[in-house]
Structure 1
Amino acid sequence: MNKLLCATNMKALFKFSTIAVLLIVLIVLVLFFAIGNSVYSGKTASLKFVNASGQLIKSASITVAGQSCSVKELGPGGEIRCHFEDLYDSSYSVSVKMQSGVLHSEPSLGYVTGGMNFNDTITINQSGVIELVSSPCT
């Protein structure tokens, strides 16, 4: 009888300890993902796009992390500002159509991530080269 009682107690203790361990693992995972989300959410990119081409831009589009910013016309020396939120690992995709009809594009320019904020400047120069100056900040 003692052996049966002891075996029953051991089974109950095993079930309890298994449930306790699983609950602790679950709590740790929830905390891990909550901390990760708070670190990576709310990070932004502030972007300035500058027309240094000397020509009228008919249209320009900038996309990063699934978000877009565009302008219909931008005169020589003109600039626009864009703001992107909730970043994830991505790069800028830039497409610029000049008044002459020439299309300049850069499908993968620079790098942004959800781990920090960015203050970036994208410039199209007179030869049509699209350049990025990136300034990550925390």
Structure 2
Amino acid sequence: MKKININLRWTILLAAILVPASFSDLRYTFGQENETAQGDKESNKFVNYLENARNLLNQTSIEYKDGNFTGAEELANTAYLDNFEHVEAELEEKGSHSFMEDLEHMMREDLRDLIQDKADQSELDMHINAIDAKLVEAIDLLKGTE
């Protein structure tokens, strides 16, 4: 039963990463892209990275709750290294250097420290929720809705 749960979690994780990227590319597969569509696609790429980071952080909390501290740390690292890092320059370009640095610090250092120190689940979840709120803010910034 434990093996099924682990396989199911990894399947859900992979789907959370791959599905949003796949759907965002679908609307561009037919016909020519104009310059606006090109800009939208570029913006969507960055938004997808941030959405992936949000999904991975949610999975981080689940793994941590199940006592899989190594898995939780790996997911948190993936959220940062394989997703947020790709968006840092774009956020900075939008004039949000300090915002980007705060979020980077929360993800790269604070979250990792909480996991390594085996903090209480509630403390970890509060920190993940704070990161998630900032990621939503970053998504709005990239979409130009803020």
Same fold by TM (over 0.5)? Answer: no
- Please say which structure displays the higher CA radius of gyration: 1
TM-score normalised according to structure 1 size:
0.27
The structure where helix makes up a greater share of residues is 2
The structure where strand makes up a greater share of residues is 1
